[in-house]
Amino acid sequence: MATASLVLGLVGLFVSWFTFGIPSILAVIFGHIGITQTKPGSGVSGRGLAITGLVLGYVVVAFAIWVSIAFVYAAGQVTSPVVTPSG
């Protein structure tokens, strides 16, 4: 799960715009699962991979949310020109 989180985090970082952020969301999910599987004392390695994938996933998701809010705000600021009747 930790390796999958890292790979999906990297994929989401580079192609998130074409895949609607699905790899980044999966990176966050797999990262949390990977962290729970690699608790200290469990004997399973890969905690750093899980944390890195988790951080990459959250960064891309947060950036996507920020861009979406900016687009909504910008769309609200657009005004149509006033047309006055001539004559």
Residue 56: Cβ within 10 Å count = 24
In angstroms, the CA 84 to CA 73 distance is: 28
pLDDT confidence bin for 87, thresholds 50/70/90? low
Model pLDDT for residues 5-60, shown as the tens digit of each residue: 999 999 998 997 788 889 999 999 999 999 999 988 888 899 999 999 999 999 99
Q: Domain map of the chain by residue range? A: 2-77
Q: What is the pLDDT of residue 8?
A: 93
Residue 33: Cβ within 10 Å count = 16
pTM over 0.85? The answer is no
Tokens 């769309």 -> residue: 75
Q: Tell me which H or E stretch contains 48.
A: helix 47-77
